[in-house]
Amino acid sequence: MDQPHLLELAKQGSPTAIAVLINAVLNPHEIQAQAKLKARCLCIFLESNQTLSQETLVKFVERGLLKLNIELIDTVEICSRKPGESSFSWVRKFEIKPIVQLVSVDLVSPTEDRHDSLDLADPDRGLDESEFEEEQAESGSSIPTYFRAYSILFVLAIVVGFMSGGMIVAFISTSQAENQTAAETEGVFLDESIKKQTPQEKQQKAESYLKAMNVAQAKFYRQNQRFASSLEELERSTNLISQSYDYAYKLRVADESRAEIAAIPKAKGLKSYVGAVVVTDSKTDDIVCKAKNSSIESLPIPEFSRTLVSKTLRCPSRSSQVN
């Protein structure tokens, strides 16, 4: 049976689908977004270690939502804070009106051209911090496998449905412009910005992703007494979708005490990575290893040694441990 694709779910008002679209653009800028629909108010929670440009992000979200033309949403509330902080850095609430499709007039049999005004009555208050944290803890809502970012349809849905009209790249505030409207760059598409990245930047994203997946796998094991068996299940548990056009990621559960994830370059000039999480005496240990030389081949799995006094993970030959 055909499944509705991501863009259609977003148009229907699915906060999970909307968050995936937003994260496809924001994750490369080290910004994480979550969304929840409360009454007719879409609450978007942004988290980043950097100071975020309020005006730029509000315009980015508003433009994307207007393009999706979601009838179920009257207002949007965007909240931003840094990880570990108890209060939001800023909160912005605004109304959003779906685009009304005009009805053509029949010149032979004139009909009344009716467009009822939108009901923009003040909705219930937005999500507070405790509710966001509770939502994170209850994040059992599934992101189906067709949300996989490797799908061509997924990429097209993002470009056509959410970034039409140009991509905003100035998400981060500078000290001189924190209280001013951040600059926008129009007509810069996602694939063009990726092409301009250096090999070191592409490798750094692969390192960060494997580190995050190791942490997520260890947490998943503590909560479920087993490892996540697929990349989709692991990404869903941590609300992180990989957006790499440079690496292919493969997850493997070797046995009930060991899980591995590999990052294999799709083109020459990049180094491969491998990560592993092992269970030792009801505790977890993990490691990420980087190839010493560029290669499109996957690295051997990390070695696990057990002695009377210690249990250690070591990187295989031709690689070194990532700090």
Residue 311 and residue 210 in one domain:
yes
- Name the residue with higher pLDDT: 288 or 159: 288
Span 74-106, pLDDT tens digits: 999 999 998 888 888 899 999 987 555 444 444
Q: CA geometry: angle at 293 spanning 288 and 294, to 5°?
A: 90
Give the number of domains in the chain. 2
Interval 288-306 mean pLDDT = 89
- Please report whether residue 116 resides in a domain: no
- Contacts for 88-95 with beta carbons within 8 Å, 24 or more apart? 88/129, 89/51, 89/52, 90/52, 90/54, 91/126, 92/54, 92/58, 93/126, 94/58, 94/62, 95/120
> Quick one: pLDDT at residue 5?
66
C-alpha–C-alpha distance, residues 233 and 270, integer Å: 27
Residue 144 and residue 254 in one domain:
no
Interval 25-34 mean pLDDT = 86
Interval 208-216 mean pLDDT = 92
Residue 136 and residue 239 in one domain:
no
Report DSSP letters for 244-293, one per residue. Answer: -SSEEEEEEEEETTEEEEEEEESSTT---EEEEEEEETTEEEEEEEEESS
Interval 266-293 mean pLDDT = 91
Residue 97 and residue 217 in one domain:
no
> What are 166's two structure tokens?
């140009």
Lowest mean pLDDT segment, chosen from 168-172, 257-261, 272-276: 168-172
Out of 135, 162, 189, pick the residue that ends a domain.
162
- Name the residue with higher pLDDT: 269 or 5: 269
Span 19-29, pLDDT tens digits: 888 988 888 78
- Crossing angle of helices 15-26 and 54-68, in 10° steps, is 130
Strands 247-255 and 258-265: antiparallel
51 pLDDT tier (thresholds 50, 70, 90): confident
Beta strands in the chain (DSSP E): 32-38, 41-47, 75-81, 90-95, 247-255, 258-265, 273-280, 283-291, 303-306, 311-314, 319-321
Contact at 8 Å (CB) between 37 and 72? yes
Residue 10 and residue 78 in one domain:
yes
> Quick one: pLDDT at residue 264?
94
Residue 158 and residue 20 in one domain:
yes
> Quick one: pLDDT at residue 197?
80
- Please report whether residue 175 resides in a domain: no
Q: How many CB atoms lie within 10 A of CB 102?
A: 8
- Please report whether residue 211 resides in a domain: yes
Residue 158 and residue 36 in one domain:
yes
- Please report whether residue 274 resides in a domain: yes
Look over the chain and give the mean of its residue pLDDT values, rounded to a whole number.
Answer: 73
Question: 14: left (phi > 0), else alpha (psi -120 to 50), else beta?
Answer: beta
- Please report whether residue 110 resides in a domain: no
C-alpha–C-alpha distance, residues 57 and 80, integer Å: 10
- Please report whether residue 179 resides in a domain: no
Residue 182: name the closest of 166, 163, 169, 164 by CA: 169
- Name the residue with higher pLDDT: 156 or 263: 263
Residue 269 and residue 149 in one domain:
no
Residue 261: name the closest of 228, 216, 213 by CA: 213
> Quick one: pLDDT at residue 309?
53
Is residue 55 over pLDDT 90? no
Residue 87 and residue 209 in one domain:
no
Residues 6+ apart with CB under 8 A from 236: 142, 143
- Residue appearing with tokens 């005496």: 281
For the chain, the first-to-last Cα distance in angstroms comes to 45
- Please report whether residue 136 resides in a domain: yes
Most confident of 80-84, 120-124, 220-224: 220-224
Residue 98 and residue 153 in one domain:
yes
> Quick one: pLDDT at residue 147?
41
> Quick one: pLDDT at residue 249?
92
- Please report whether residue 244 resides in a domain: yes
Contact at 8 Å (CB) between 95 and 74? yes
Interval 211-223 mean pLDDT = 93
- Residue appearing with tokens 């092409």: 195
Span 124-169, pLDDT tens digits: 444 444 544 454 444 444 444 434 443 344 444 444 444 443 343 4
Domain of 309 in residue numbering reads as 197-321
CB-based burial label for 288 (10 Å; 0-12, 13-18, 19+): buried
> Quick one: pLDDT at residue 157?
45
Is residue 184 over pLDDT 60? no
Residues 6+ apart with CB under 8 A from 200: none
> Quick one: pLDDT at residue 247?
92
Residue 154 and residue 242 in one domain:
no
Residue 75 and residue 158 in one domain:
yes
